[in-house]
Amino acid sequence: MMFKLLKKLWRDRRGNALAIAGAALPLIIGSAGLASDTIQWALMKRQLQRTADSAALAGVYGKMSSQTVNTGTCSTANSQPVYRDVYTQSDANTRLDTTVTCTVGTPSSPWNGSGYQAVQVTVSAQRAMAFSGFFVSTAPTITASATAAVVQSGKYCVISLKNTAGTGLSFSGGPTVNLGCGMKTNAKGADAVNATGNPSISASPVAAVGQIDGTAEFTAGTTFQPYSAPQSDPFASVTAPTVPSGCNQDALRGSATTVSASGTAASPAVVCYKSLKLTSGNVATFTDAVIILNGGDLDIGAQATLNCTRCTFVLTSTDGTAAGNVTINGGATVNMTPPTTGTYANLVIYKDRRTAYCNNCNKINGNSSSTITGGIYAPTQEVQFSGDGGMSSNCVQIVSWEVTFTGNSTISNSCGTTGPHPFDGSMVRLVA
């Protein structure tokens, strides 16, 4: 009797679906629980990675600002610009809803070399998962690591040191600018680089701490780098000499129409005038020389000739605050090359950085008979290329507060492997 009842029950198909569903329910619940844990894990990992990335970037920017970044536990009690510039420790814990451990370590090769500014940050946290927490007594540890470093961003031969809001590099009218290298400004704001009118600009990369206002005026293939790290002053270590006593006479006096000075590469001649102003028919020739202008101008007028071979014009004053202006007229014949060694290596014009700001004090209007090679340095003032002239140069370097190209000026620049060369630019990037 019992045997017949069992056989009947075995053949009965009613309730099979419920039995199968019951048997499969643990698998369904487990899959859903694991999926939920996976999503929670991935979200936590992303939050930690973002924290590590931000902390590493903050550390490198801190190093660039000469702050101390020590290896070891991240701390807000010392000068480490890691958590202080991103989160405080309590902020990190609150944002991620758990206790976060942060350490600054030594970056891996090659970023641990002496030539690199790099910071590695590792953050970790334990997070109990909603489903797997029923089966695991210890919450798993989630870790994220990031390495940020200063890397080369390009090579620049025009640098605007302006570090406030406004325009550092500007183009107006119809200038033709062929640099053969890049340009960069430390200016901030929406129009750090501004091009209006109908210019033709060939320069790459074009970088700014702020934004680049318009790109249509640049040639195809130009690389734009807005929001870049500031560029350091490549001539920051160069200082103006002390003005010799009695230096208060103009270079040309009375009926004189020529002036000259020469030395040797090993021992340059040092001469001092109040100013050097050349008018039609005047000729100035300097070879291996440093020409100090004490509070007066360097003014090369139409039909004048200036030959400057391995020489530097230093515009300063007794106290350094009243350097004169630079004017090179488009009708002049100007050929200038800088010294290759010494204090003013690669500089043809140096203006004392103690001189007050001026936006219309340094005008260069070259022509097809003019060649300028080397650095033009006016760190507190504007340098303006203007007019209808055309000038060629063998790697002119312009480093000033602001740089302006205007009118129908033409500049054709080329840089070789010897002599003056573009400056290496830098940017902060995550590298690992």
Beta-carbon contacts of residue 109 (< 8 Å; ≥ 6 apart): none
Beta carbons of 185 and 168 less than 8 angstroms apart: yes
**pLDDT score of 141 more than 80:** yes
CB neighbour list of residue 7: distance below 8 Å, 6 or more residues apart: none
| Residue, of 124 and 273, whose pLDDT is higher | 273
The whole-angstrom separation of Cα 62 and Cα 367 is: 45
Which tens digit of pLDDT belongs to each residue from 55-100? Answer: 888 888 888 777 778 888 776 554 455 544 444 455 555 555 667 7
At 238 the pLDDT is: 94
Average pLDDT of the chain is 82
Distance from first CA to last CA of the chain, Å, rounded? Answer: 77
Q: pLDDT at position 61, please?
A: 81
pLDDT of residue 294: 96
Between the CA of residue 263 and those of 212, 260, 285, 310, 344, what are the distances in Å? 45, 11, 12, 10, 15
- CB-based burial label for 200 (10 Å; 0-12, 13-18, 19+): middle
Q: What pLDDT shows up at residue 326? A: 95
- pLDDT tens digits for range 382-417: 999 876 556 666 677 899 999 998 877 666 666 665
pLDDT value at position 392?
64
By 3-state DSSP, what share of the chain in percent is helix, strand and coil, each rounded to 5?
Answer: 15, 35, 45
Mark 3-38 as b/e (b = at least 16 C-beta within 10 Å).
eeeeeeeeeeeeeeeeeeeeeeeeeeeeeebeeebe
Quickly tell me which residue has 């040092």 as its tokens. Answer: 270
Q: What is the pLDDT of residues 205-215, one digit of tens each?
A: 899 999 988 77
Q: Report if pTM > 0.85.
A: no
Amino acid, res. 201: I
Read off the pLDDT of residues 100-135 as tens digits, 9 standing for 90 and up: 788 888 888 888 876 778 889 998 887 776 666 566
pLDDT in tens, 232-265: 899 999 999 999 988 999 999 888 899 999 999 8
**What digits encode the pLDDT tens for the residues 330-379?**
788 899 999 999 999 999 999 999 999 988 899 988 666 778 888 899 99
Write the pLDDT tens digit of every residue in 291-327: 999 999 999 998 999 999 999 999 999 998 999 999 9
From CA 44, how far away is CA 39, in angstroms rounded?
9
Average the pLDDT over each of 20-29, 45-54, 156-165 and give the range with the smallest value.
Answer: 20-29
Angle at CA of residue 342, ends 337 and 347, nearest 5°:
35
Kindly tell me if the per-residue pLDDT of 223 is higher than 60: yes
Model confidence band, residue 159 (pLDDT cutoffs 50, 70, 90): very high
Q: Report which of 358, 359, 301, 363 is spatially closest to residue 333, judged by C-alpha positions.
A: 301
Which pLDDT band holds residue 20 (cuts at 50, 70, 90)?
low
- In 191-346, DSSP assigns E strands to 193-195, 200-202, 206-208, 212-213, 224-225, 258-262, 269-273, 276-278, 283-294, 298-300, 305-316, 326-328, 333-336
Q: What angle do CA 253, 255, 256 make, to 5 degrees?
A: 65
